[in-house]
Amino acid sequence: MQEASGRTVSVHVTHGGEYFGLLGPYAVDGGWWSSASPVVERVSQELGVPVVVLRLAYAPNDGSSGHGGHVVYHVEAWERPVRTTPCQVSADVATLLGPTERRAGWATTGGLREALGWAEEQLARAGRPAVGRPEQVRTWNLSGLFRYRTADGGEAWLKAINPAFNAREGQVIALLGSVDATLVPTLLGSDAERGRLLLDRVAGEDLWAPSAEDVVAVVPRLVAAQAALAADGRAATAGLRDRTLPTLVVHVNALLDRLEEEWAVSPAADGPEEQVEGRLTAAELAAARALAGRLPALVAELTACGLPDTLVHGDFHPGNWRSDGTRAVVVDYADSAFGHPALDGLRPRQFVTEERWTQIAEVWALAWREHAPGSAPERALELVAPLFHLAYAVRYQEFLDHIETSERPYHETDPVSEIRRALTSAPAVERQG
């Protein structure tokens, strides 16, 4: 996992319809912009009342990748602050804090209260009522995450996502759980239409640096579940988002069309061949279009490897593997879809050492050879690299299309970065072909 550099924060504070000014800047622990707990703790201490971070109001659009620097949040006080007084709202601040298109439901006071109320109702019905206020763990354009203490001494986690561009996580968990109940978190409640998920606590730690034993405890079990869901046909009929390779090629061409149109409207000021972050050069656009033209042949080669389309996790890196040493669980299914399993197989590579990646690839391939006799999983991992990166370019563009302007610095440069990685990986695939 990339280490997050330090972060300083300022906060616009509101309560109901009142504005209590801009506080800070403060230095807070935890450099990731989405990490809400340190901000909540610092501002609650300052104001003497409980608060919640609604959203990121400003962040530097300088390739910070979601961490470090100075950022500004909109914070809502749950109770009226007594250590400060309301003040006049300037036109600029009113615009910054006012309604806007594509704002996440959990980034508004009303939407957040509704989501928390839903979670508390679910816990009460389960005989595990919440104790005290939930702890806000994370909030950003992709999700809001809250931890509840429950009357039985346990914990439950509320996750809110945007259903417009994410999988129905409750459905995915239930589907995988029907094959291997130990692979997935315990589902306490789900509201697919509003993108809400309530999960029991998963014990242990995220496996950002997985051991050899961790790999064996996770990878073959996901493959076994994927193979079973492909074999009985349920993955194909579950209504998952279609990310099969031919469909992915269509999405890639549509993305390149958009990038070419943007180029036609606004050519690069720094010159057509000078590479800048977040924008392809004319040569890169031409190379990407040429690569797209070769994708149908690449898809045919991948299909010939004999691996079935199935439920794919969509973000199968080790930070989404969690273990307490006895039970390993895979979490975070917002990116799940129906597609080629090699897209999951290659995902850990960017997060582990070369030694660990070699083991993961071997374990993954061995598992697929067992469940799909006669298949060529090693070849599939070699071939899929350009499509893997292009799939992430498409996915990151989906993020950008569905989030408000102030949140764009999280992902602004990601589609272009992934296209560049695809171009880099394509020659290696061609040499192997």
382: domain CATH number?
3.90.1200.10
In a domain, 1, yes or no: no
Query: Does 294 lie in the same domain as 186?
Result: no
Residue 270 has pLDDT above 60, yes or no: no
Q: Which of 143, 172, 174 is nearest to 159 (CA)?
A: 143
In a domain, 265, yes or no: yes
Number of domains in the chain: 3
Higher pLDDT pick, 61 / 334: 334
pLDDT of residue 273: 57
Query: Does 195 lie in the same domain as 210?
Result: no
Taking 3-state DSSP, the helix, strand and coil percentages for the chain, each rounded to the nearest 5, stand at 45, 20, 35
- Using left for φ > 0, alpha for ψ between -120 and 50, and beta otherwise, residue 339 falls in beta
Under DSSP, is residue 338 helix (H, G, I), strand (E, B) or coil? Answer: strand
Query: Does 93 lie in the same domain as 132?
Result: no
HSE-up of residue 363 (Cα within 13 Å, Cβ side): 21
* Nearest-angstrom CA–CA distance, 129 and 177: 25
Residue 204 has pLDDT above 70, yes or no: yes
For the segment 75-88, what is each residue's pLDDT rounded down to a tens digit? 999 999 988 999 99
Average pLDDT over residues 323-342: 97
Cβ–Cβ under 8 Å, residues 372 and 306:
yes
pLDDT of residue 262: 85
Residue 430 has pLDDT above 90, yes or no: no
The percentage of residues in the chain with a pLDDT greater than 90, rounded to a whole number, is 88
- The vertex-116 CA angle with 111 and 117, nearest 5°, equals 95
* Nearest-angstrom CA–CA distance, 98 and 107: 12
Burial class of residue 125 (count of CB atoms within 10 Å of its CB; 0-12, 13-18, 19+): exposed
- Where are the extended beta strands (E) located within 83-178? 130-139, 144-150, 155-160
Query: Does 255 lie in the same domain as 387?
Result: yes
pLDDT of residue 279: 86
For the segment 43-72, what is each residue's pLDDT rounded down to a tens digit? 999 999 999 999 999 998 776 678 889 999
CATH number of 84's domain: 3.90.79.10
Residue that terminates a domain, selected from 201, 232, 261 = 201
Mean pLDDT, the chain, integer: 94
The percentage of residues in the chain with a pLDDT greater than 70, rounded to a whole number, is 94
pLDDT of residue 14: 98
Average pLDDT over residues 268-293: 79
Query: Does 233 lie in the same domain as 197?
Result: no
Residue 148 has pLDDT above 90, yes or no: yes
DSSP class of residue 105 equals G
Place of tokens 């990646």: 357
Residue 41 has pLDDT above 90, yes or no: yes
- The vertex-167 CA angle with 260 and 348, nearest 5°, equals 75
CATH number of 148's domain: 3.30.200.20
Query: Does 94 lie in the same domain as 138?
Result: no
Query: Does 211 lie in the same domain as 196?
Result: no
Average pLDDT over residues 152-174: 97
Residue 4 has pLDDT above 80, yes or no: no
One-letter amino acid at 183 equals L
* Nearest-angstrom CA–CA distance, 174 and 163: 17
Residue that terminates a domain, selected from 75, 98, 121 = 98
HSE-up of residue 212 (Cα within 13 Å, Cβ side): 4
Residue 271 has pLDDT above 90, yes or no: no
Domain that holds residue 116: 107-201
Question: Cis omega (within 30 of 0) on the bond before 25?
Answer: yes
* Nearest-angstrom CA–CA distance, 59 and 70: 7
Residue that terminates a domain, selected from 50, 81, 98 = 98
- 266: its two tokens: 């606004």
- The vertex-31 CA angle with 131 and 409, nearest 5°, equals 105
pLDDT of residue 5: 63
Residue 31 has pLDDT above 60, yes or no: yes
For the segment 208-255, what is each residue's pLDDT rounded down to a tens digit? 999 999 999 999 999 999 999 999 999 999 999 999 999 999 999 999
* Nearest-angstrom CA–CA distance, 234 and 239: 9
In a domain, 2, yes or no: no
- 211: its two tokens: 């051991």
Burial class of residue 432 (count of CB atoms within 10 Å of its CB; 0-12, 13-18, 19+): exposed
Q: Tell me whether strands 155-160 and 242-243 are parallel, antiparallel or unpaired.
A: unpaired
* Nearest-angstrom CA–CA distance, 431 and 416: 24
pLDDT of residue 79: 96
> CA of 296: how far to CAs of 128, 174, 246, 306, in Å?
52, 33, 7, 16
Per-residue DSSP letters for 368-424?
HHHHSTT--HHHHHHHTHHHHHHHHHHHHHHHHHHS-GGGGGGTTTHHHHHHHHHHH
Give residue 1's pLDDT band: very low, low, confident or very high (50, 70, 90): very low
- Where are the extended beta strands (E) located within 269-372? 310-312, 321-323, 328-330, 337-339
For the segment 402-417, what is each residue's pLDDT rounded down to a tens digit? 999 999 999 999 999 9
pLDDT of residue 276: 67
Average pLDDT over residues 391-401: 97
In a domain, 418, yes or no: yes
Residue 363 has pLDDT above 90, yes or no: yes
For the segment 106-133, what is each residue's pLDDT rounded down to a tens digit? 999 999 999 999 999 999 999 999 999 9
